[in-house]
Amino acid sequence: MLDNILNLADWVVYGVRESAEGYQFTWAYPAITLCPGGHAEDQLPRFGRKEPLFLDLPMHGKRVALLVDRRRYRCKVCGKTF
């Protein structure tokens, strides 16, 4: 049910924190299995992470924040980062 609460297909909610100020949902795209050049997962070491925070419309009168867990990878075969 939580996967669909914000209507972002394919993204997964893996954490919800409620505080006096509001709710914070942590989102991530499921693990990448191929690089854009088609090379497989075992050639894709992680290459950093970004976690931008977005504010959404309030829910139940409380602030809603979305923390997006964006992982970066660099392909060992073609050198592309994505």
Shortest CB 80 distance to Zn ion, Å: 5
Cα(13)–Cα(40) distance, integer angstroms: 25
Main-chain phi, psi angles of 3, to 5 degrees: -55, -30
Shortest CB 76 distance to Zn ion, Å: 8
Shortest CB 69 distance to Zn ion, Å: 22
Report if residue 77 touches Zn ion, rule: CB under 5 A.
yes
Report if residue 78 touches Zn ion, rule: CB under 5 A.
yes
From residue 68, how far is each of 24, 28, 43, 61, 79 by CA, in Å?
Answer: 10, 6, 24, 22, 25
The residue number whose beta carbon is nearest to Zn ion equals 75
Q: Which two tokens stand for residue 46?
A: 């992680």
Stretch that binds Zn ion, among 7-15, 19-27, 58-66, 68-76 (CB under 5 A): 68-76
